[in-house]
Amino acid sequence: MENSFEEAIYNVERDRPMSWIFKQKDRLTALHPDMSETMVHKRILGKCGDDLEHAIRSRCIEPFSTKDFINAMEDITTRTKIGRNWYKPSMDNRNSGKPIPKPNKQH
């Protein structure tokens, strides 16, 4: 069980934030039932990678709930460059990569 937690590194392309956080939280709680929620979150944050960890810490004021942790992680991985390999924005409201024509100046 401890090896499973130690080997688990968050992968933006493979893992979903909510299921990954709950899985790591369950593993830590099984190993250390007396560990506080704040310490559990800190240990899990350490498995997220430097950029993602920093972004989550910047958005969440300690002590933060698991709900806040999940919401911040989902926002970051879907709306920032940290998750750009995983997140595919819809092109409905964006230009299709074509240059925007400049308006003609009429004197």
Query: E strands along 1-107, which residues?
Result: none
Helices 37-45/17-31 angle, 10° precision = 120
Q: Whole-structure pTM over 0.95, yes or no?
A: no
Q: Quick one: which of 104, 107, 51 has its CA closest to 77? A: 51
Q: Is residue 106 part of a domain?
A: no
Question: pLDDT of the chain along its 107 residues, tens only?
Answer: 667 788 888 888 888 999 999 999 999 999 999 999 999 999 999 998 888 999 999 998 888 899 999 999 999 988 888 776 544 445 444 555 555 566 676 66
CA distances to 12, 34, 70 from 88, rounded to whole Å, are 12, 40, 20
| Residue 27 in domain | yes
Structure token pair of residue 67: 């709900």
Residue range(s) defining the domain that contains residue 30: 2-83
Total number of domains in the chain: 1
Distance (Å, whole) CA 46 – CA 8: 10
